Amino acid sequence: MQQFRDAIERRDLDAISALLADDVVFRSPVVHAPYQDRAQLVGLLGAVSQVFEDLRYTRQIDDAPDHALVFRARVGDREVEGCDFIHVNADGLIDELYVMCRPLSGLMALAEAMKRQLAA
């Protein structure tokens, strides 16, 4: 989904929020229970934007209503590869987003950095 990709790359939280359904479900690569709230997800994405360095999307797969955005980033000295899996509802809003990351060392660095960012 190009609009989401552009908003993430610009770190434009207002634009991201406008693309999300009120009851969007977010599944984190770190936390077991899903988040189910637009405001909460926007806050998390804001924190991620502070943690990820050199975020760049390398592939975009669109098969409406499902999309996948493959990315690379750094967290400190760790490289992270991941994918944002997006589902869009009948109104054209994102109603489901889940993220997968690898390798484990990068995921652990992300979890620790997010813990520090959210505590601040």
Reported confidence tier of residue 120, pLDDT bands at 50, 70, 90 = confident
Write down the domain spans for the chain.
Answer: 2-119
Which has the closest alpha carbon to 68: 99, 41, 43, 90?
A: 99
Cα atoms in the Cβ-side hemisphere of radius 13 Å centred on 39: 0
Comparing 32 with 79, the larger pLDDT belongs to 79
Structure pTM? 0.92
CATH number of this structure's domain 2-119, picked from the four choices 3.30.70.20, 1.20.140.10, 3.10.450.50, 1.10.8.50: 3.10.450.50
Give burial (CB, 10 Å; 0-12/13-18/19+) of 91. Answer: exposed
Does 86 score more than 90 pLDDT?
yes
Does 60 score more than 90 pLDDT?
yes
